[in-house]
Amino acid sequence: MNSHKILPPIHVHPIVFFFITVAVLTGMLVDLVIIFFIVFVHEMGHYYFARKFNWKVKRIYLWIFGGVMETEDDARRSWKEEWIVTIAGPMQHLFLFFFFYLLAASGLVPDSTINIAMQYNTFILLGNLLPILPLDGGRMLQLVCDDLFPFQTAVSLAILLSCVSIVTVLFIAFFIGHLSLSLGLLFVFLFWENRLEWKRRHYKWWKFILYRKSDAKIYKKKSVLHVERERRLVDIFQQFYRNRYNVIRINDVPICLSEADCIHAFLSNKLHHLTIGDIADTKEEVNYV
């Protein structure tokens, strides 16, 4: 991304053109403009803080009731930065409520239009807080899982819980009689996004491991993994936490190995069957805990 650009490339999901056609035919073009305005302001909240943290933003992808800001180097971002960028989107809705209130007080816009804008702002805010990926609520769910579970488990668990949430919301909407065509299409899109995330989860995990090889950050938390010397390194990597420094302790042996030692040895030898015992045997110095 060019740092001098005010905005990144903005792309519109093809399904939006279907809704534009429907809006024109049904006389709801004003509603669609309001929705896009709210979604755009929401995404600008994410984008502003992403730029503050020097994230590489590839593009903003807009769809009917939300958007996705696509970024690079996600494994290099801190957990704190991700929280700030994630909640920055929903926070914009509070400013929008105030903005719509000022418009109503000015008398420049009909009250009926203000009421519609308030309703859509509320709907989009609450919808984005659902624990469904790639919505903001789903991102928050992912961050919580990252803090509680090893990274590989956290990624898979967040996707599974996201799919459960999709099915749950669809059932609730059906039983209360609010399941519409637009809502159905929206959740088809969300389910498809989660399917893609599931297929990418192993790539995401390996990217995380490769990053940890050269990670120079200082972590406040430390995770001590107690393992047998016969455990393969690739199996131990599956227990690594994202927001902690991982230390490997071999049972019954007063040796601690750092995550950097293990990852470097694994990538240098390129042997999937390499065990933690093999690494310990090559260490000339013994670290006691």
Pairing of strands 66-71, 57-63: antiparallel
Tell me if residue 43 is catalytic.
Answer: yes
- Under a CB-based contact definition with an 8 Å cutoff, are residues 43 and 60 in contact? yes
- For 221, the 3-state DSSP assignment is strand
**Cis ω before 14 (30° cut-off from 0):** no
> Minimal CA–CA distance to 289: which of 240, 259, 244, 250?
250
Q: Which of 43, 193, 197, 259 is catalytic?
A: 43
Apex CA 173: angle with CA 172 and CA 174, to 5°?
90
For 183, half-sphere exposure in the C-beta direction (CA atoms, 13 angstrom radius) is 15
Joined tokens for residue 62 = 């807009």
Residue 151 tokens read as: 């990274």
Angle at 67 between CA 103 and CA 161, to 5 degrees: 120
- The DSSP secondary structure of 150-184, one letter per residue, reads -HHHHHHHHHHHHHHHHHHHHHHHHHTT---HHHH
Q: How far is CA 43 from CA 14, 157, 262, 283, in A?
A: 18, 26, 40, 50
Question: What span, in angstroms and rounded, lies between the C-alpha atoms of 134 and 68?
Answer: 7
Contact 58/68 with Cβ under 8 angstroms?
no
- Residues with catalytic function: 43
